[in-house]
Amino acid sequence: MNNINKTTKAITPLLPLWSYQLQMDSKLAIRTRKDLEVHLITRALKDEAFRHKLVANPKAVIEEELGKKLPATFEIITVEETETTLYMVLPCNPYEGVSEEELKSLVGMAYEDIAQWVLEQQRNTLLDEVSSVPMFIRVWKDKDFKHKLLYSPKMVIEEECGVEIPENIEIKILEETVHILYIVLPRLDNELVPKMIEWFDDIKSARKPQPLFAKIPVGYCSSFQYGSSCSS
């Protein structure tokens, strides 16, 4: 999204971790927060000791990986998926309190553009881009829908995406703010780890898109309708 450069001093977007904060004096060759998360998850899948450290003290681990200190105001929380618990991260609205009309006037973009741009910066842990964009837009613009998603995520995702989620699966929503961000680690499965490492390596090398519920192994949640997308 090249038109993000149209941002003016009068309206500065807010995100928990900006690309420039990762790139400045970093030991890692990364461009975005998404690159950082993929790097961390890949290491966590390969190294159990690193995984434990990332869960126990994620901010210290990230600072060590980057070779630099992060702002003191940042709080970073790592959560681990289980066989029955999955997480969806809701990014903060970088233009909180700004109407779509004001966005178009000041920045030349609509909220659909902003949602797509946010997804270029950080990975969503559950839905693909086609599904995430309309979901984020509604969350940012509709407080009632946001409340419904936060407190009844499973029902909302089933309704919006046309999927059937197994009864034993719980979906939890993690809402980020400017100062709080989450890292979601996929559950460890000895049989699946090699495939997952290969999958994350593909993302790093080719920025492979993530299909809906792609991280759920086939056969594990066989009733999911793979490839479905939320309606806009």
Query: Across all residues in the chain, what is the average pLDDT?
Result: 77
Instruction: Quote the pLDDT of residue 13.
Output: 74
- Residue-level pLDDT at 230: 52
- Provide the token pair at 205: 């090398």
97: which residues sit within 8 A by CB, 6+ positions away?
A: none
- Residues 146-197: pLDDT tens digits? 999 999 999 999 998 888 888 888 999 999 988 898 999 988 765 554 555 5
Using CB atoms within 10 Å of the CB of residue 194, give its burial: 0 to 12 exposed, 13 to 18 middle, 19+ buried: exposed
The 10s digit of each residue's pLDDT in 43-82 is: 998 899 999 999 999 999 999 998 888 888 889 999 999 8
Domains belonging to the chain, first-starting first, are 8-206 (3.90.330)
> Above 70 in pLDDT, residue 226?
no
Q: Return the C-alpha torsion angle 24, 25, 28, 30, nearest 10.
A: 10
CB 172 within 8 A of CB 153: yes
Name the residue among 162, 184, 158, 159 with its Cα closest to residue 173.
184
Res. 7 pLDDT band, cuts 50 70 90: very low
